[in-house]
Amino acid sequence: MRETALGAYAHQDVPFEQLVDELVTERDRSRTPLFQVLFSYVADGGVYTNPDGVLPSKFDLSVRIEGSGDTLSGQIEYSTALFDAATMERLAGHLVTLLDAVVLDPGQRVGELPVLSAGERELVVEGWNASSVELPAVAGVHELIAEWAVAAPDAVAVVAGGESVTYGGLMVRANRLAHLLRGCRRRVGGGAVSAAWGGHGRGGAGGVAGCVLPLDPEYPADRLEFMLADAGVRVVVGEGRGGAARRAGCVAG
């Protein structure tokens, strides 16, 4: 570290342009070589007065704050090829909101300081998240499937690979499975099934007022066994009879 510092001091008079030419092999002439955004604060630098006219910006974005007594003034220079005036006005407003919060409560943690104004926060938190929708008054998805089976029995409900199932066909499968599950009346595990069979599995379980526990066949066997035991599953619906399914007891597939 000492040798590095001494070497830097020994060459402190080297022009910056020469240093860049020596160190930066691939240089984009449209931007500064080391950084593109500059923030600077000058204490007792006098109150800044915005000059008339448009001046060329040296950086993509430059924010300068100057203090004089109890007054802060600022200047923002920006590349008009990258930013517009509205964006810079929002940036200035965020900075003012931040500084106001610091003045009101200097003891706040930095991470707790607000940046958005009250109106912006309401827009982001409330306005853009106003995505609530009125849900159908049904007990589960199986009732929606049943309604579609009556309204449009020949409409395709599920497509999986080369197989497609209509709503009417899906209800036939679901009712058949519900009949098999009716004697168990327990929680049902959903194992390795295709999309076409998965739909009627959920419908069948719902038809007997059961609940479905999704099971990923890629999980380790001991993990699946724990999930089955912890949930009290006695029935596993799936294509094939894996080890976890066999140990669950009653199997429908």
Can you give the pLDDT at residue 151? 92
Can you give the pLDDT at residue 41? 85
Average pLDDT over residues 162-190: 75
Tell which wins on pLDDT, 127 or 252.
Answer: 127
Q: Residue 113: which pLDDT band, with cuts at 50, 70 and 90?
A: very high
The sign of the dihedral angle between the CA atoms of 48, 53, 56, 59 is positive
Neighbouring residues of 177: CB distance < 8 A, sequence distance ≥ 6: 200, 201, 203, 204, 205, 207, 237, 252
Reference 199, options 187, 184, 208, 212; nearest CA is 212
Average pLDDT over residues 23-35: 71
Measured from the Cβ of residue 167, the count of other Cβ atoms closer than 10 Å reads: 23
Name residue 223's amino acid. Answer: R
Q: For residue 44, is it left (φ>0), alpha (ψ between -120 and 50) or beta?
A: left
- pLDDT of residue 177 exceeding 80, the answer is no
Can you give the pLDDT at residue 86? 93
Measured from the Cβ of residue 232, the count of other Cβ atoms closer than 10 Å reads: 9
pTM for the structure as a whole: 0.45
Tell which wins on pLDDT, 134 or 86.
Answer: 86
Strand partners, 164: 159
- pLDDT of residue 207 exceeding 60, the answer is no
Q: Residue 204: which pLDDT band, with cuts at 50, 70 and 90?
A: very low
Tell me phi and psi for residue 180, to 5 degrees.
-70, -35
Q: Residue 188: which pLDDT band, with cuts at 50, 70 and 90?
A: low
- 35: DSSP letter: -
Report the distance separating Cα 237 and Cα 204, nearest Å. Answer: 10
Can you give the pLDDT at residue 245? 45
Neighbouring residues of 154: CB distance < 8 A, sequence distance ≥ 6: 166, 167, 168
Q: Residue 95: which pLDDT band, with cuts at 50, 70 and 90?
A: very high
Can you give the pLDDT at residue 91? 92
Average pLDDT over residues 184-195: 52
Reference 68, options 41, 96, 43, 49; nearest CA is 43
Neighbouring residues of 169: CB distance < 8 A, sequence distance ≥ 6: 157
Contact yes or no for 174/150 (Cβ under 8 A):
no
Lowest mean pLDDT among 5-9, 33-37, 55-59, 134-138: 55-59
Tell which wins on pLDDT, 252 or 163.
Answer: 163
Contact yes or no for 39/78 (Cβ under 8 A):
no
SS3 250: strand
Alpha-carbon distances, residue 201 vs 164, 174, 193, 210, 253 (angstroms): 15, 6, 9, 11, 9
Tell which wins on pLDDT, 188 or 83.
Answer: 83
Average pLDDT over residues 157-179: 83
Q: Which domains does the chain have, with CATH numbers?
A: 2-127 (3.30.559.30), 141-252 (3.40.50.980)
Q: Residue 185: which pLDDT band, with cuts at 50, 70 and 90?
A: low
Can you give the pLDDT at residue 186? 57
Which structure tokens are listed for 9?
Answer: 């001091």
Q: Mind listing the pLDDT tens digit for each residue in 211-244? A: 777 778 788 989 988 988 888 877 777 665 554 4
Measured from the Cβ of residue 238, the count of other Cβ atoms closer than 10 Å reads: 21
Average pLDDT over residues 4-28: 77
